[in-house]
Amino acid sequence: MIHDPHFRLLVAGILVFLSLASAVGWVLGRRATSESARATVENLNARIRAWWVMVAILAGALALGWTATIVLFGLLSFYALREFLSLTPTKPADHWPLLAAFYLFLPAQYLLIGRAWYGLFSILIPVYAYLLLPILGVVRGDTQDYVLRMARIQWGVMLAVYCLSHAPALLVLRIDGFEGRSPLLLVYLIVVVQLSDVMQYVFGKLFGRIKIAPLVSPSKTVEGLVGGGLAAIAIGTGLYWLTPFTPLQAMGLSAVIAIMGFFGGLVLSAAKRSIGVKDWGSSIEGHGGVLDRLDSVCFAAPIFFHLTRYWFTP
């Protein structure tokens, strides 16, 4: 991808955007006077610093090729699954299903994607993992909270492995007239879904009044969703040249990405509330854990993948 002019142009645009954001953060830091203002600006600057690192890692993986990108997402799935399961109660009787989740189904899912074996990677976890994990969990004979324990493991594997794996699965799509450029679909997904998150945050902070689900996520507002969603759709439509889509098709697909990304964040916020934690982890400065940053991707990636595959592949 490093030789693709569209990829290089997009990377240059992202670098300019991050440079401007860093400059704005520096100016705001100099002007902040109150403790609350300084804390807000420091959180903003921490998020921007983390974005520099995340963009560098993703761009580096894409430049190295498909294998490196698939391995990167496999590692992200591993850390996201570890964050999820470390915050949900398990027992010694869950040893075997946990081993199978991390060291059987997770690598198998990404290996199948690398082999472009759609027929099996699309059902491996929803069918085989769904059935085998509770079988492994029952052999120890511990029935206390058995349904809840198995449901947590199944839910974690579906979310952090199956759903997230559809992002790198975009690399193996074969679209007529778009040969060799499928990594741009992954870039398009990531850019639209993450900018949607950012713009919803900005619009919510500036204009947010009506809370969508105050008991779940007090920061999510109607104004943030509408303003941020429309901004993401506009950006996604403007980036149609990265994709095999027409501007109208890009508009529709970016709307799906923005909406599903929003609900991904909302659902994972509800999960955190039910567990009693603020973040899934602390590995990404200013963002929380890996799952905090990828919650919207987990919900948007499968829908975007299957819509693209259905409409644009032979």
Sorted by where each begins, the domain ranges of the chain are: 1-64, 65-172, 178-314
Q: Return the HEC string of 56-82.
A: HHHHHHHHHCHHHHHHHHHHHHHHHHH
- Closest Cα to residue 181, out of 308, 32, 15? 308
**How far, in Å, CA of 54 to CA of 275, rounded?**
27
Q: What is the pLDDT, as a whole number, of residue 7? A: 79
Q: What is the pLDDT, as a whole number, of residue 1? A: 63
Q: What is the pLDDT, as a whole number, of residue 63? A: 86
The token pair at 46 is 């921490």
SS3 16: helix
Give the HSE-up count for residue 87: Cα atoms under 13 Å, Cβ half-sphere. 21
H-helix segments, the chain = 5-31, 35-64, 66-86, 95-100, 106-114, 118-121, 130-138, 146-157, 164-169, 183-207, 222-238, 247-275, 290-312
Q: What is the pLDDT, as a whole number, of residue 309? A: 96
Phi-psi label, residue 181: left if phi above 0, alpha if psi -120 to 50, beta otherwise:
alpha
288, β-bridge pairs:
284
221, β-bridge pairs:
211
H or E, element range at 34: none
Q: What is the pLDDT, as a whole number, of residue 50? A: 82
- Closest Cα to residue 264, out of 285, 283, 291? 291
Q: What is the pLDDT, as a whole number, of residue 25? A: 81
Residues of the chain with pLDDT under 50: none
**How far, in Å, CA of 292 to CA of 287, rounded?**
7
> Distances from the Cα of 181 to the Cαs of 174, 175, 177, in angstroms?
9, 9, 9
Q: What is the pLDDT, as a whole number, of residue 197? A: 87
- Closest Cα to residue 285, out of 72, 59, 83, 45? 45
Q: Quote the pTM value.
A: 0.92
**How far, in Å, CA of 119 to CA of 124, rounded?**
9
